[in-house]
């Protein structure tokens, strides 16, 4: 292979991989200096001059001219005077002799090896650049195209054709994408697996919701409104606590928009995920009350030692506080960073006469079991029956079989 063919083919390959000119020259020089060291043992007295645009390569070896009988003669560093004068008659001892080295001097096998080494170095560099690029983008939103839809993950391509993956566990449950679809997600993490970068995206991360807020709401993007906390059950419900640094701006109203115009594109992107936007405050009681909305809390007690909050509500507000399948109370607890228990407020009238106090079932249910229900705010039969079984299992410190036994007893009361 001719010198210019080797360099031009490599330069063309590297430019397609978007490698800059300075890096191309550095790689070429590294490879040719490796060839020099293999053939001449050292590259200290060599100059490698490369112009990848024209395919030019010059390799110069510099030897010190010494006397013909010099006892310290070293053929890797020196050239004898009589040999130098065969090239140019007026050379003298002590001068430098520049010897041009042709690529053919290395032999065809070494040149072919160099070509493969050049290509491999570019591929390794490409992998490293991809890893570094996306490592710095963790938490940022990207837009990709579906290249292949597999059972466990989506294989995506970014604008440069680089491969990224969106695992099934990082997709919203209602997501359905097909080849050619456009997908928005955040860079979740970047790993190196067997020397290859693996860029993992996510649509379930709270960061994804935060980036959507920044994109759709100018005040959030500009930093006038700050997102303080986000909790999600992807595809179902989310709570976002926001705060404004400008007293003239209503952060909740700005995020929701006129008739929901600003929040709607975000809800649509998240497959109709319900988003509760609330005002953040350092007042914990007020923050808890806002987090439990739409339920209205009457009073509450906060136990910092056990990291639990007891919220007392009127009977008709308890189901609102708990929410569908316990979502509202779970998300509220995550938002404020404490476990929340809801209790029915003692009524002064007889508005709950159709309900039955749990203590009335002592003949069928042991006192200690009833006490476990009391501990987490369940005082009446209907308050237990209205709560989803999954939430009862999570909140009440009893075996599932025991909870099912109590539910059966209570249902018979109202049959």
Residue 359 located in a structural domain? yes
* CATH number of the domain encompassing residue 382: 1.10.150.20
Of 111, 132, 153, which residue is a domain's last?
A: 132
Give percent above pLDDT 70 in the chain.
93
For helices 367-375 and 400-413, angle between their N-to-C axes, nearest 10 degrees: 90
- For residue 303, report the phi and psi dihedrals to the nearest 5 degrees: -110, 100
* CATH number of the domain encompassing residue 114: 3.30.1480
Residues 124 and 7 in one domain: yes
CB atoms within 10 A of CB 104: 11
* CATH number of the domain encompassing residue 153: 2.40.50.140
**Element containing residue 129 per DSSP (H, E):** helix 108-135
pLDDT in tens, 361-393: 887 788 889 888 888 888 888 888 888 888 888
Residues 15 and 35 in one domain: yes
pLDDT at 274 over 90: yes
Residues 7 and 128 in one domain: yes
Residues 88 and 192 in one domain: no
Residues 26 and 122 in one domain: yes
Residues 32 and 101 in one domain: yes
Q: Give the whole-angstrom CA distance, residue 387 versus residue 369.
A: 17
Q: Give the whole-angstrom CA distance, residue 167 versus residue 198.
A: 12
Structural contact between residues 392 and 381, judged by C-beta atoms closer than 8 angstroms: no
How is residue 220 written in tokens?
């959030």
Of 202, 231, 253, which residue is a domain's last?
A: 202
Please give the average per-residue pLDDT across 382-407, as a whole number. Answer: 88
pLDDT at 394 over 50: yes
3-state secondary structure of 126: helix
pLDDT of residue 163: 92
- For residue 161, report the phi and psi dihedrals to the nearest 5 degrees: 80, 10
CB atoms within 10 A of CB 210: 17
Residue 383 falls in which region: left (phi positive, over 0), alpha (psi -120 to 50) or beta: alpha
3-state secondary structure of 99: strand
Residues 6+ apart with CB under 8 A from 210: 227, 230
Q: Give the whole-angstrom CA distance, residue 374 versus residue 14.
A: 71
pLDDT in tens, 279-321: 999 999 999 999 998 889 999 999 988 999 999 988 778 888 8
Q: Give the whole-angstrom CA distance, residue 257 versus residue 19.
A: 45
Residue 337 located in a structural domain? no
C-alpha angle 279/282/285, rounded to 5°?
85
Looking at the structure of the chain, the number of domains it has is 3
Q: By residue range, what is the domain housing residue 29?
A: 3-132
Residue 258 located in a structural domain? no
Of 202, 217, 251, which residue is a domain's last?
A: 202
Please give the average per-residue pLDDT across 186-201, as a whole number. Answer: 92
Residues 111 and 194 in one domain: no
Residues 63 and 169 in one domain: no
pLDDT of residue 315: 78
For helices 108-135 and 21-40, angle between their N-to-C axes, nearest 10 degrees: 140
CB atoms within 10 A of CB 351: 11
Mean pLDDT score of the chain, rounded to an integer? 87
Residue 15 located in a structural domain? yes
Residues 15 and 79 in one domain: yes
Band (pLDDT 50/70/90 cuts) for residue 352 is: very low
Structural contact between residues 142 and 185, judged by C-beta atoms closer than 8 angstroms: yes
Residue 32 located in a structural domain? yes
Residues 77 and 124 in one domain: yes
Residue 278 located in a structural domain? no
Residue 414 located in a structural domain? yes
Residue 393 located in a structural domain? yes
pLDDT in tens, 54-82: 667 888 989 998 898 888 888 888 889 88
For the whole model, what pTM was predicted? 0.67
Residues 164 and 75 in one domain: no
Residues 108 and 20 in one domain: yes
Q: Give the whole-angstrom CA distance, residue 134 versus residue 122.
A: 18
């Amino acid at each position: 292979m001719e010198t210019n063919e080797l360099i031009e083919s490599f330069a063309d390959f590297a430019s397609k991989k978007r490698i800059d000119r300075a890096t191309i020259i550095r790689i070429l020089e590294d490879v040719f200096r490796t060839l020099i060291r293999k053939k001449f043992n050292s590259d200290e007295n060599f100059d490698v001059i490369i112009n990848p645009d024209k395919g030019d390569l010059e390799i110069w070896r510099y030897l010190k001219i010494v006397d013909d009988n010099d006892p310290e003669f070293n053929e890797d560093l020196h050239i004898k005077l009589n040999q130098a004068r065969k090239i140019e008659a007026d050379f003298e001892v002590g001068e430098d002799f520049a010897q041009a080295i042709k690529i053919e001097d290395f032999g065809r096998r070494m040149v072919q090896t160099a070509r493969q080494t050049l290509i491999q170095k570019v591929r390794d560099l490409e992998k490293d650049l991809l890893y570094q690029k996306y490592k710095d983008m963790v938490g940022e939103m990207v837009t990709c195209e579906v290249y292949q839809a597999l059972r466990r993950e989506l294989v995506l391509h970014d604008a440069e054709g680089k491969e990224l993956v969106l695992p099934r566990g990082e997709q919203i449950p209602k997501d359905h994408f097909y080849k050619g679809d456009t997908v928005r997600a955040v860079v979740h993490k970047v790993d190196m697996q067997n020397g290859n970068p693996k860029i993992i995206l996510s649509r379930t991360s709270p960061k994804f919701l935060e980036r959507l807020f920044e994109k759709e709401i100018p005040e959030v993007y500009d930093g006038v409104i700050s997102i303080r906390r986000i909790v999600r059950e992807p595809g179902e419900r989310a709570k976002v606590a926001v705060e404004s640094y400008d007293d003239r701006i209503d952060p909740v109203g700005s995020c929701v928009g006129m008739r929901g115009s600003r929040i709607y594109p975000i809800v649509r992107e998240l497959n109709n995920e319900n988003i509760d936007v609330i005002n953040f405050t350092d007042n914990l009681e007020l923050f808890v009350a806002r987090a439990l909305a739409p339920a209205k809390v009457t009073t509450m007690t906060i136990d910092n030692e056990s990291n639990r909050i007891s919220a007392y509500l009127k009977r008709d507000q308890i189901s609102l506080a708990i929410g569908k399948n316990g979502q509202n109370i779970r998300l509220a607890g995550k938002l404020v960073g404490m476990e929340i228990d809801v209790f029915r407020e003692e009524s002064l009238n007889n508005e709950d006469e159709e309900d039955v106090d749990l203590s009335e079932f002592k003949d069928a249910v042991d006192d200690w079991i009833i006490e476990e229900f009391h501990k987490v705010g369940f005082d009446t039969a209907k308050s237990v029956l209205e709560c989803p079984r999954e939430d009862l299992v999570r909140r009440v410190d009893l075996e599932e079989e025991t909870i099912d036994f109590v539910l059966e007893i209570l249902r018979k009361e109202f049959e």
